[in-house]
Amino acid sequence: MQVSSLIFGAFLCFISVSLASAHDLITDEVAKEYLLELREAVSVLDNVGASSEMRAQSALSIGTTLEEIKSFLNRDISMHGAINGLATEYLVSKLESSGLALHFDSKKNYYPFDNTYYHAALKFASSNDTRSLAKVRLIKGDFYHDFKGDLMSTTASLTDLEGQVKSFDEVDFTSLSNEDAEELRFIKIITYARLMKGRRTDKDDRLSNVFQALSEEFEMLYPSSMRLGAVSVVKEMLNIH
């Protein structure tokens, strides 16, 4: 089996978990629930009298909800070529009229990741937990948005990758669920691998040592993880044993 196929298969295993939703499909009831939830969150975010932490949590809620909706829409597009169903069309229309229009990339026929509300959450957050959760959403969103079928391929520059590596230092892993912590540690490993692949300098040994330590930690913490196969393949690609 080709390396790219192995990596792609592993990716499909964990992206399905990342995009999991509380709903299976958008019905009239689900659409109304989304709209009510967003309306309440927006009212708090726009309320200058609300505490900064409340506004941060509302921004985080808006960002998370919109990403969940977009995962539905992108799934519809991948299966049917366009969004499907009256309830879905109603939801998209109401979002547009309420000022929460979802950006659509017509060239790629896809709703891309939007970091607007996560940055707003970081701006207002006064608690480490909220800042950490917003940072996690940004890291995951950027990572999945950059995915093009091969985990080692990236459109990010070396400067961007260095910035992404530093962003993990702002995350409190102890505040995350086990599922989120595993996913983020995996993304951290791949980010270091991408940086190693793109930068061949005297810093290689340091990067290699960090990558090896992260890999060993992941294997110890998640011995049954389906992502271990992808980690092993990436290590082989980088000639690390």
String of DSSP letters for 165-200: HHHGGG--GGGS-HHHHHHHHHHHHHHHHHHHHH--
pLDDT tens per residue, range 109-125? 999 999 999 999 999 99
pLDDT tens figures, 55-96: 999 999 999 999 999 999 999 998 888 888 899 999 999 999
**pTM for this structure?**
0.82
Domain boundaries, the chain: 3-237
CA distance 3 to 23: 34
In this structure, how many other beta carbons lie within 10 angstroms of the beta carbon of residue 66? 19
pLDDT band of 200, cuts 50, 70, 90: low
